[in-house]
Chain A
Amino acid sequence: MSDTEPRTDGGTTTRTTRLRRTLDRMTVEDVGLYVVLALAAAFYLVPIESGLVTSFKTGTAIIETAPFAPPGPSGLTFEKWRTAIDVLLRGMGNSLLYAVPATVISAFVGSITAYGLTIPTWNKSYKALVLMLIIAGIFIPYQAVLVPLTQFWSQWAQLDQVLSFVWALGIDEDYVGIIELVITHVAYGIPICTLLFRTYYKTMSDEMIESARLDGATLRRVYRRIVLPLSGPMFAVVLIYQFTQIWNDLLFTLVIVSTESSPAAPVVLILAGLGSSLEGQDFALRMAGAFFAALPTLAVYIFFGEEFAEGVAA
């Protein structure tokens, strides 16, 4: 039975995939394949779906309906979302306040670092050594730098005193934590940003750069005129990856801002304590809060999924 005909109809299928299709000609097998894939998809979606429906349930609906079933008309409420937004909104603002600058700066710094380590010609083994030291920085467990980091910000670099003129304007002193977070995230983001840009620059065509160099263009000029304008796609990948990472990070916010009651508390910090600050566990509120806090990263993922996949695969 030849069912290769209907299966080759996809316009975008490549020769490779078409060949792999012919490896199994069993229709039953095909059906089985899609069933397994759909089950796997359900496995990945159910926790999220269950959280979403639960966030709209009243206290009684949570007990009476199945955890993944939508609330009936009587069990539907938007009150939990309203509470969650009330509690988390200031945290969202604070998170944006450090996540956006830290993302942009670390992407740009990563780009110039990778450029200096890839395009110019200098001794390959020294280059590899520098690169190795940088790349190892990606894999450091941050616990190994936490106590010195706390010491550094609280005892050595006393930014809150340097910035006293800002507090005089009526901005809460806790916001010094936001600036510390920006610098911290930039410093620890350099390794991964550099690696991502380097994989991209390695594949860049040499011809244009070489001829520009022969014409006497400085490295700075080559970067500004040739490399930077061509870096667009990689900037998208790095910005998306970094934004997700920085937005989602809890550890640094925990040790730098420390309390969820601080006016400068980021959203992850408030969310982590959201359920436990109330008597018992209000799951509907927790779910609503979780979704609200995840909105920016979900939006980024839905709109730029391709770039996200590329970022994590590198």
Chain B
Amino acid sequence: MLDFYRRLHRTIRSSSGDDDEVRADGGVVSDGSAADPPAEPDRDLTARLKASLDRRFGSDFMESSVFWLPPFLLMGLFVYGAVIWNLLISLTDYQRFENAPDYSNLDFEMYTRALADSGFIDAAVNTLVLLIAFTAGTLAVGLVLAILIDRGIRFENSFRTIYLLPMSLSFVVTAQFWLWIYNYNNGIANNLIGTFGLGPVSWLGNQDIVLYAVIFALMWQFSGYAMVVYLAGLRAIPTEHYEAAQVDGASALKMYWRVIIPQLKGATISAAVVLMVFGMKAFDFLYSLSGGYRPPNGADILATKMVREAYANLNWAYGSAIAIVLFGMALSVIGPYLVYEYRRDNL
């Protein structure tokens, strides 16, 4: 890893000032040009450097770096630079209206404070429940829909468009819809269970229910996405597998369970990772549900707690520490996923 950074550093240095000169040589710089009389020492040096870089990285490395390196650096600064900076801030005591964190005195105080904070523990548990229940539920609904749609139905496109429609809407917008559905007096949810003689239930006011009410709303919004991913997976399965199962006389249910679903592993993994990321971004939804930094009681997750601590209570360092925990959670999902994709040569 360190070795990579050293190389990267070399590349950055060499590509910063004399891009055009290097490119003027075209892609044919070879040892021949390196042996030129030292009339132009600068040019000679860059040519040699380029030649050695090209040998190590491949023939187009220098020339192609103009395309990907600047965006890579910009994105690296905003993503990785910011995460490292965030880690540093979480080790300080930065709070209130101080202009900048004081980096001279670093400790893990914010993390011990988090462990002693029952609100943090609750939020962490809620986050896990939300991620697992939301991801599993959404995948299940998406898979069923995909299988139904894949049975060669008519109006396939219309159904698909309808199922995917909620995903094009903002969390801010869907939160308004669900606020109305879960309304105690006039909402559809209580209307519906009322016809079965149940309720009314205070969906957003009851601490034990609210988290599941939120998960249900999120499932509504994203199961169409899971369906699209599964549909692509189903379409990639060769027809022979259906034929073989049919010849064996397997029932439709058995066929899907034994033959088809095991082949959807790749689709399941990639959809699950993306859904977990959406779940971690449920902040927008919860913020709009309550119209403020404090979500309904019982539905606080790390994402909302982090923003509330930092931007409402001005506990910047504490917010950063919570953010690092959230980042760690995300990393434990993304890391293995990227390695898996890399192994399958899918990057």
Contact = CB atoms under 8 A, between A and B. Distances in A.
Interface of A: 7, 10, 13, 15-21, 23-24, 33-34, 36-37, 40-41, 43-48, 50-51, 54, 62-63, 66-68, 109-110, 112-113, 115-117, 119-123, 126, 128-152, 155, 184, 186-188, 190-191, 194, 216, 218-220, 223, 244, 247-251, 254-255, 258, 268, 271-273, 275-276, 281, 283, 286-287, 289-291, 293-294, 297-298, 300-301, 305, 308-309, 312-313
Contacts, number: 338
Nearest to B238: A16
B257 to A, nearest CB: 14
Interface string B76-110: 11111111011001000000000111000000000
Interface stretch (B30-38, B40-48, B145-153, B205-213): B145-153
A140 B300 CA distance: 20
B140 interface: no
A22 B164 CA distance: 28
Given A48-B177, A116-B65, A137-B79, A144 B327 contact: yes
B71 A151 contact: no
Nearest to A216: B26
B99 A155 contact: yes
B126 interface: no
Interface residues of B, number: 117
Contacts of B330: 139-141, 144
Interface of B: 4, 23, 26-27, 56-61, 63-69, 71-72, 74-83, 85-86, 89, 99-101, 145, 148-154, 159-181, 183, 185-188, 191, 220, 224-225, 228-229, 232, 235, 239, 242-243, 246, 252, 255, 273, 277, 280-281, 283-284, 287-288, 290-292, 302-303, 306-307, 310-311, 316, 319-320, 322-324, 326-327, 329-330, 333-334, 338, 342, 347
Contacts of B99: 155
Contact of A145 (B78, B273, B338): B78
Given A50-B177, A121-B58, A218-B23, A17 B67 contact: no
Interface of A, helix, strand, loop or mixed by DSSP:
helix
Contact of B242 (A23, A41, A51): A23
A220 B288 CA distance: 46
B63 A67 contact: no
A245 B81 CA distance: 23
4 A-B pairs with the lowest CB-CB distances in the bound complex, closest first: A116-B67, A122-B58, A116-B68, A120-B60
B68 A112 contact: yes
B183 to A, nearest CB: 7
B83 A145 contact: yes
Contacts of A294: 169-170, 173
